[in-house]
Amino acid sequence: MNNVTDILIELYRIMGSLICHQLPSRTIYINNMPLPLCARDTGIYFGFFASLVYVYISKRNKADLPPDIKNTIILCILMLFMIIDGGTSYLKIRETNNLLRYFSGAFFGLSLPFFLIPVANYNPAITNTNKSLKSTWEIIFLIIVNLIIGFLVLKTNFLPWFLIATITIGSLIYVICRIVFTIVKQTALKNCNKAFLTAGGTIGILLIMFCLSNFVLQPLKTLLLDGIRR
């Protein structure tokens, strides 16, 4: 590998370590290279990415309302799968595996854009009418898309490592940036520079996460791995 490739791989690894334990046994390998996020987090951000692309293609990025009650319940049930899978495995009630971790994460991530996008666009001063999701069939379509993507990621080497890593890390950064943007848009004064505040807030959060990762998450990971080896 050349120097640029090595730098990118290390950069993705560092970015992934900001939120993820990166335990080898819970990580998906592409051509013997571990992805920068664990199986569950890879699923979350790939699922998020698939729905986000759909939101922009269908021109719902200006949506100012979440889905209706029925579709909101369906999305919440999809998100519940990850909570059940993660919770029961951490409580030692049952064993899980990377396939379940990935897909429970993907269904969780699938749901997020339909709630995250409208929050920034909601305006209490007007009547908001543009829902982020129009039909249950859209959810079914996205489930099928995520099943196909999951098969390609887990069972084939069709998708290259850099594509998967770029999508998942890029989605992570987008989520942080979007949350900051939402806070800025809903609270800042009209004449302030929202782009500057969003960029500054995003960088600030990433720096805080970097410190937490280096001084909390990574030491805990080392202790956990030492315990497993013993």
Residues 2-54: tens digit of each pLDDT: 677 888 889 999 999 888 888 888 999 999 899 999 999 999 999 999 999 99
Give the C-alpha separation, 195 to 99, whole Å.
Answer: 39
Express each pLDDT in 68-119 by its tens digit: 999 999 999 999 999 999 899 888 888 899 999 999 999 999 999 999 999 9
Q: What is the pLDDT of residue 221?
A: 66
Nearest 5°: CA angle at 215, between 213 and 221? 65
Q: Which two tokens stand for residue 126?
A: 């007007």
Does 193 have pLDDT greater than 90?
A: no
Give the C-alpha separation, 28 to 8, whole Å.
Answer: 18
Task: List the beta bridge partners of residue 34.
Answer: 29
Give the C-alpha separation, 103 to 106, whole Å.
Answer: 5
Give the C-alpha separation, 48 to 62, whole Å.
Answer: 17
Residue 71: Cβ within 10 Å count: 20
Does 127 have pLDDT greater than 60?
A: yes
Q: What is the pLDDT of residue 225?
A: 60
pTM value is: 0.89
Express each pLDDT in 147-170 by its tens digit: 999 999 999 889 999 999 999 999
CB of 133 closer than 8 Å to CB of 114:
yes
More confident residue, 154 or 124: 154
Burial class (CB in 10 A: 0-12, 13-18, 19+), 129: exposed
Stretch 139-153: mean pLDDT: 96
